[in-house]
Structures are given as C-alpha cells and as structure tokens.
Structure 1
Amino acid sequence: MSTTYTTGASSVDTLDQKAIGEESLAPQTTRIMGPWSYLFAWLGGCVSIGTFTVGSGLVGTLNLLQVVLAIAIGCIVIGIALMINGQAGHKYGIPFMVQARSAFGFTGSRIPALVRSVPAIVWFGFQSWIGAGALNLVSATLFGYDNMVVFFVGFQALQIGLSVLGFHGIKWLENIGSVFIIFSLVYMFFSVIGKYGDEISTNLVNVEGTWGAPFWGATMLFLGIYSTMMLNVSDYSRELRRNVGPLGQVTIYANSILPATLFMGMIGLMVSGATGEVDPIRVFSSAVDNKLLLVVTLLFIAFAQVTTNILNNVVPPAYALMDVFKLKFRTSAVLVGLLAFATFPWELVKDESAAGLNLFIQTYSAFLGPIFAILVVDYFVLRRQTLDLEKLYDENGPYRGVNWAAVIAMAIGVVVALIFSGVSWYASLVPAGLSYVILMRTMPSAKRFAS
C-alpha cells in the first residue's frame, strides 16, 4: 500500500506496507527487520564460496596469522563502510538506485547501478554452480545418479522461485538458514584442523609470510568480495527499523560478516595449503570421512549458496532492471536468474581460474571504490545528510540527465585504482572523492545538482 510524502508544494508516493514479492523503488516507510533479524540476514548472506576461493589463493603468500588479521581488518573496514553508505537508505527508506541520483543524475545513476550488477550476476552463476555441484555429489553418493546439468538447471529454478518472494522471503530464508549454516562452518573448521593439523603447521604456521604489500592486498581481496554490497547497502538498510543507530549498525555488520568470512577464508586456506586442492566441493568432501556427515555438509553448502545469492546477487541487478526498463520486481528477479546462466560458471570453478577470480575482484573493485567514495562525499560533505525526495523522484527536475562531475571523478578514481591494482579499492577513495568535490564546485553543469 502506498501513500503520499509531501515535500513543499509537491509530493512523492511512498510504500507504507508491502505484500510478499512487492518491492518498489519508492521511499519505504515500513521496516520489516529488527536488529537480530537483520544480523541473521547478513550472516546467512555472507557465506560466500568466493571467500573460500580467495583464502585458497593466499597459500604460499601469507601465513595463518597474517590471513586471520587480513580478514579481520577487511571486515572492520567493511562494517564501517556499510554503516556509512547505508545511512541514506536507513533514514529515507530509499534504495541504492535512487540514492545515486543525487550524485550521478537521474540517467547517470544507471552507470553505477549496472557496474554493481555485473559482479552480482557473475557471483550468482558461480555460486549456483557450486551449490548444484554439492547436490549432484549428494545424489551420486546416495543414489548413484550423476548429472550436473540437471542439478544446475533445477537449482537455478529453485533460487529464481525464492527470489520472487522479495524481502519477506529473504527475511525468513536468511534467519532460519543462518543458524544451520554457522553450525556447519564450525564443524567443518574443526574437522579440517583435526584431519590436516600437521600439514597446516608445516605449510601455514611455521612460515614467514609477509607484512608488506601482499598482506594489504589480501585485506582488499576479502574486502573486495563485499565492495559491491557497500554500494547498494541502502537496498538493505531501508528494511532495518529506525531505532537502530550507527553504532548498532556497525555492530550488526561486524558480528555477521566476520564469522562467515573468517570460517570460509580459513577453511579455504588450510585445506588448500595442506592438499593443494582448490575446488570447493572436493575440498569439503575430502574433509569428511563419514557418508552421512558428508551428505549433511554438502547440503549445507548448497543451502549457503541460496542464502547468499538471494540476498546479495538478486536484489541489486533486479532493482537496476526495474529502473532502467520499468519492470516489476518479480520479472526482474527472473531475468537476473536467467542471466546467471550466461556467466559460464563451469569455467570459473576450475583450478586454473582461482588467480583469474582474484584478478576479477581487484578489477571490479577499481570501479566500485570510486563510486562508493562519491556517494559518501555527496551525502555527508555536500548535502550534509539531507536529501530532497521530490528532486530524487523527478525525472525532469534538477537531477535530470547525467552529472558529469561524478562520472569524471569516477574515471579518475578508476585510473588510480588500476595503477595500484593490488590495493585498488583503497587507492581509489581519496582521488575520486576529492575530485568530485572540486568538480562539483567548479563545473558549471554541476551547479543544478548541488542544490
């Protein structure tokens, strides 16, 4: 149900209540998640096999302690960044697509939205293949039936069906699933230590590693997995009840992201360091000797991909499609699921693709870092946490078209990030943010966006 939000002489429709599957880009006054529900949603949504792969890729570069610290530093930065950029969505109930209009313009906002959507769809396909592989292995173990194509198509159809339920479905899926997922990760973690303790000591503990550029590059790799979510965090924070302040939000993000990232990254590092194996399914299955426990573990892996995909990899591109092509949420969610087939995930999971996947994270982080900086500077520095909803929803108003100050600042940040590719996200923040402030104050075409 929608009502009208009055801003001066004009008004903007708001979403006061929403049914299952009814998502909108309009300002949202209804909040369906409390602190605990929001925490469990993020916990369930952060069990990413991509984190496992990043951990595997650090074998031979860092020792065990350095990886733990790299994950911790990355997660602290993530928590703070999510809180900062999520303030606009939490305060005004607007999604990322609308938030970006004040900086990039009504049409220009589609540039960061589409940049955000590409990694989401790639991860959707990647993790769907992993989940389908887990189900296929369960079937082969119990029934002798092995058909990866059938399970991939079926698994994708299941996720598409769940995604059309919107945030009501996300809330219950993540809240219920996260409890089982974290218990599974704890079990797998200690199983790995018990099985490969000697190899872990030799290959990961009793090695020097480095505290130099590779260490800080590792923090960025773990951070890079979530750098997409840092952009569109308003899509989620608009669902969080208003009485949760900034400190509470940081606490929620840290206590949900850190455990999931730590367990997955450490398991990937330890098993790959001990066995040389990179494929997640083979790694997990090798850590469990009992058939029943193997089946349960593989089912948890499959379920974890569902919770991660539905929260992180469906909503952002679905909202982008809603804005660009004026589609309904359910139609957009189905299209996102179909596009994931085109990412060729069966190639991404190959052993020789681990380094390429890390390069992919570094590359798209080069684009996401500058956009993040521009959004934060726009909201906190230029607009001082005050947005005009009427202008944000007026396609013919002062925010019409493209704000080239933001686009140029983004390009400057991307160039800097590509030069310093090992720490691209960090390196791009100051150049992009500073350039944006200067251009907004000097470019004549940017004046109407500054109002």
Structure 2
Amino acid sequence: MEAAQSVSRATELEKGSHLMEEAILPTWLNQRTIGGLGYIWIWIGMAVIIATFQLGAGGVAGLPLATVIVTIFLANLTLGLVMALTADIGTEHGLSFAVYLRAPFGTVGTHLPSVTRGIVAAAWFGIQTYLGALALNGIVSYLTGFDNWIVWYAVFGIVQIINTAMGMRAVQVLASIAAPAIIAISIWMFFTLENLATASGNDIWSFAGDANMSVLALFVANMAFWSALAVDIPNITRFLKTEGGARNFLRRNRNVFAAQFIALPVAQSWIALIGAVSFIATGDWNPITVIQGQGTGLTLVVLLLMVILAQWSTNTSANLIPAALTFVNAGAPRLNYAWGIVIAGVVGTLAMPWLILNHLFTYLGLYGAMLSAVGGIMVCDYFLIRGRRLNVPDLYREDGQFKYAGGWNPAGLIAWIAGGGLALVFLDYAYVVGFPSALIIYFVLMKVWILPSYPQAEVVDPNDSEYLATSVNKNWVFTPGTGMQRLETDKIPEASLKREDL
C-alpha cells in the first residue's frame, strides 16, 4: 500500500504539478559547493552597494559619525541572528525560501509573501542596475563623449541576467573576483574622500549635522535594509558546504557564522562610513557624482569600476536569484529558472528604480515592516512548531498536509497581516514590532486552531530519523516512479530529478 502511494505521488509530480520544477527541488549534500570563504565573498559583494552609502550619509546628517557606524554595526549584527536561524532551513533540508513557505502559509498561500519578496528583490535589481548604469555611462562618457545611461541600463541588466542564469557556481566565481577588488578600491576611496573633507575644513569625527535623525530610526532602517534577505537566505545557504550527520546547530552551520556576524556588519559599516565621509566632504551621498567631480583619467575609471562590480555582485546573489525562485515557485512547472530571472529583470525595470532611490528610507521602512513579520513566522514555524523537522515530500504534494484549507494556512496569513500591520503602524520601530508580534500570533493560532484541525506529521510524530536530512546524513531526493525520499548521498540513483546547478 505504501509503495503504491509513493508511486502515485511521483506520478502526480511527473504530470506537471504546479508545486514542482527542477530549480526548486531540494539540493543534495554533494551539490553544496560554497565554502566558508566563498560565502564571505558573497556577503561582502552583497553588502558593498551604493544604497549603503546613502544610509551612512543619512545618518551622519543628524548624528555623530562614530554613533552612526556603531548603530549600523549593531543593527546588522542583530539581523545576523535572524539570518543564522533561517539559514538552517537551507543547510538542513536544502530548501528554497518559497518552497519552505508552503509549510506556514499553505501550498497556495505561499505565493502572497513569496511573490511580495520576489517583487521587492526585483525592484532592488532595478535600483542596483540603474546605479551601475550611471557608473558605466560615466566611464564611457569620459572616454568617448557618448552619454546615455538608458543604453547602459539595458546592457548591464542583460549581462547580469545571463551571469545569474549560468547558475550558483558562476555567481560564486564573480563574488570571489569582485569582493577583493571592491575592498581594495574602497580603502583608497575612503582616504581620498577623507583628504577632501580635511581640505574643505571638516573633521569627519567632529562633524555635526542638523537633520532630524535618531539612533533608533537609523537602527531600524538598517535592519529593514537586509530584512528581505533575512527571510530568503535559504536560497543561498542550501548551496553551502555542510557536514552530513552534524546534529549540532553550530557545527552544521559553521560556514554561515563568519559571513553573517563578521563580513556583513563590518562591510556594511565600512561602506556606510564612506558614504558618510562623502557627505561630510561634499554634501553629496552619491559617490558616482563625487567621483565624476573629483576624479580624472585612470582614477575615474577604476573607482567607477568599483561601483559596477558592487552592483553586479549584489544583484546576482541578493536580488535575481531570490526573485527568480519565487516566480518559479508561482509559475511551476511551466516557468523555469532562466525565465524567472528574465521576469525579475522586467519587473525590476517596471518598478522605475530611479524614482524609488529618491525615497529610499520610506521604501526600506514599508517593505521591511511587512517582511519582518514573515521572518517571525518562519522562525516560529521551523523551530517552535516543528522543531526543525519537516515533512518535505508533502511540500510537493497538492493533496498533502500543507494543503490546509484549500491551499491556505489561516494562521500564517493572519499572523502576517497582523504583524506586518502593527509594524506599519509603528513604522519607526518596524522590525522590532513586526517580528515578535507575528511570531507570537502564529504560535498561538497554530497551537489552538490549526494543528488540531490540520495535523502535521512531523509534529504528531517528532521523529528525527523520518523528518530531518543533513543532521542524519540524508538528502531529500525526487526520483521519477518513486517520488520524494531521503537517501544517503552515495545511494542517489542517476534517474533522480535534479539539475547539477540551480
């Protein structure tokens, strides 16, 4: 009976279930190729973006520089705690963000928060591409006199889409090249701007702006900055090398911590510092215009090249991959990964990023508020409700336990609306309100309403040997004719449905 049921489930997937596409199947232990250093390079590449300069400049306009840097560092360190928790979804089960959301939101309900995140990621792609296009245009204009950023927006966007479509290995290679170059150029850039500030009679450490900016507002804005990646970090961590059979959380996620707790806060603080010094020196947060005004010859080209590399390395990991996977999750099986990336590029352009950039703090606050609630729900569902155990086969079944009420889990939707709504009402405290409130509401609703009405196998029978993967040295593997099963790496059949890369 059990074998017949397994074959039936496999047949359902093979016939075009809207819950399955190769790009969103779990990754196996032998497909996780990113080491600790590689993950650090990815995070440095992601953190060094032009929008971070604006955060630093916005802070120093109303606060002392030392206060700004400490606040930004602590905000990113705090957010790193959330990321370390959600990262385990990727390292333990090899799951993408959108697929995991089927557990707390339902097989249909997942599309609301996941596509929301996808649109946000696509919009960020547009912002980064626009800033990179300005830098490209600056280089070409200086060298040839041709001045048209729209052309370079199209060229830069297409190049990034192709690079991301080549898979995670190509993204990792780009990050390993871009990050060291960005660090070197940014150090030179800092001292150049500091000298400029000194020449204009400003001491960067005693500069006092008069804008209305509080430590709390800066702290929350910086948490909102990476709130999207805090929820969908499994999209990347499912490709991190991890030790099969590692039951200990710290051991299993050892390649996560240096990047989350050192690379992210240090890189973010460093780039914010440069933005702040740029503002102190010239009154302009945007280093593109500062560089164009101060640099000449090779200096101009090299510094603008840093801008391009920074936007490129961020877009592939932090924006195009998350957006593409959420769109694939919504459009499977007809929409594959490559087309998901193309759609992300189109959506990001239609968002008119050149307008969003003029209202960055407002944009950060609004989407950060809604996604803070998703983070609270994920942490609650994964750790408090399921104890990291997960009935992964049912995530890909239309009639499984995650169907809930017609594909919707009311607890997830109510907690998201309530938690996100509270975060919007108290926008100055968005993340610190939305995350815990959504977590508590979801926990209560699941315990008193959903679990008694819609039993969850891993909660009814919390059996590690049945519902864990990496911790017990197993992989979630889908094989035509058999369905989803847990296998040791050396026992995975060649017929298993999974591409070698994204």
Normalised to the residue count of structure 1, the TM-score between the two structures is: 0.89
> Aligned residue for 1:441?
447
> Aligned residue for 1:77?
78
Question: Which residue, 374, 379, 392 being the options, matches 1:376?
Answer: 379
Describe the superposition over 1:75-116 as per-residue Cα deviations: whole angstroms up to 9, x where unpaired.
211222111111111101111111111111111111111121
The letter of the residue matching 1:294 is: L
Per-residue deviation at 1:283?
2.5
SS in 1 for 2:317: helix
Question: What are the within-5 Å matches in structure 2 for residues 152-191 of structure 1?
Answer: 152-191=153-192
1:222 aligned to 2:222?
Answer: yes
The letter of the residue matching 1:162 is: N
The letter of the residue matching 1:250 is: F
1:398/1:136 CA distance change after superposition, 3 Å: same
SS in 1 for 2:401: coil
SS in 2 for 1:106: coil
- Structure 1 unaligned segments of length 5 or more: list them: 1-5, 15-21
Runs of 4+ in structure 1 over 4 Å off = 8-14, 198-204
Question: Which residue, 263, 273, 283 being the options, matches 1:256?
Answer: 263
In 2, Cα distance between equivalents of 1:196 and 1:343: 36
Per-residue deviation at 1:394?
1.3
The letter of the residue matching 2:23 is: S
In 2, Cα distance between equivalents of 1:53 and 1:180: 21
Per-residue deviation at 1:56?
2.1
The letter of the residue matching 1:75 is: N
1:277 aligned to 2:281?
Answer: no
In 1, Cα distance between equivalents of 2:284 and 2:49: 18
1:67 aligned to 2:74?
Answer: no
> Aligned residue for 2:128?
127
The letter of the residue matching 2:221 is: L
Per-residue deviation at 1:446?
6.9
> Aligned residue for 2:461?
none
SS in 1 for 2:454: helix
Contact 2:34 2:240 in 1 (8 A): yes
In 2, Cα distance between equivalents of 1:162 and 1:115: 24
1:294 aligned to 2:293?
Answer: no
Per-residue deviation at 1:269?
1.6
1:390/1:200 CA distance change after superposition, 3 Å: farther
Contact 2:39 2:255 in 1 (8 A): no
SS in 2 for 1:205: coil
> Aligned residue for 1:205?
206
1:423 aligned to 2:424?
Answer: no
1:177/1:208 CA distance change after superposition, 3 Å: closer
The letter of the residue matching 1:420 is: F
The letter of the residue matching 1:442 is: V
> Aligned residue for 2:463?
none
Question: Which residue, 384, 387, 391 being the options, matches 2:390?
Answer: 387
> Aligned residue for 1:140?
141
Per-residue deviation at 1:48?
1.8
SS in 1 for 2:408: coil
The letter of the residue matching 1:340 is: G
Aligned residues: 431
Question: What are the within-5 Å matches in structure 2 for residues 41-120 of structure 1?
Answer: 41-120=42-121
Normalised to the residue count of structure 2, the TM-score between the two structures is: 0.81
In 2, Cα distance between equivalents of 1:430 and 1:143: 54
In 1, Cα distance between equivalents of 2:354 and 2:392: 44
In 2, Cα distance between equivalents of 1:242 and 1:160: 28
- Structure 2 unaligned segments of length 5 or more: list them: 14-20, 244-250, 458-502
Per-residue deviation at 1:213?
8.5
Describe the superposition over 1:397-434 as per-residue Cα deviations: whole angstroms up to 9, x where unpaired.
11010101111011111121112111201111221111
**How much identity, in percent, do the aligned residues show?**
26
> Aligned residue for 1:311?
317
SS in 2 for 1:241: coil
Contact 2:53 2:285 in 1 (8 A): no
Per-residue deviation at 1:363?
0.7
The letter of the residue matching 2:336 is: K
Contact 1:129 1:345 in 2 (8 A): yes
Per-residue deviation at 1:124?
0.8
> Aligned residue for 1:363?
366
Contact 1:53 1:280 in 2 (8 A): no
Structure having the higher Rg = 2
Contact 1:382 1:450 in 2 (8 A): no
In 2, Cα distance between equivalents of 1:338 and 1:361: 21
In 2, Cα distance between equivalents of 1:213 and 1:196: 22
In 1, Cα distance between equivalents of 2:280 and 2:213: 21
The letter of the residue matching 1:432 is: A
Per-residue deviation at 1:333?
0.8
1:23/1:168 CA distance change after superposition, 3 Å: farther
In 2, Cα distance between equivalents of 1:188 and 1:263: 11
1:27 aligned to 2:26?
Answer: yes
In 2, Cα distance between equivalents of 1:435 and 1:199: 54
In 2, Cα distance between equivalents of 1:254 and 1:189: 23
Greater CA drift, 212-221 or 167-176: 212-221
In 2, Cα distance between equivalents of 1:413 and 1:198: 49
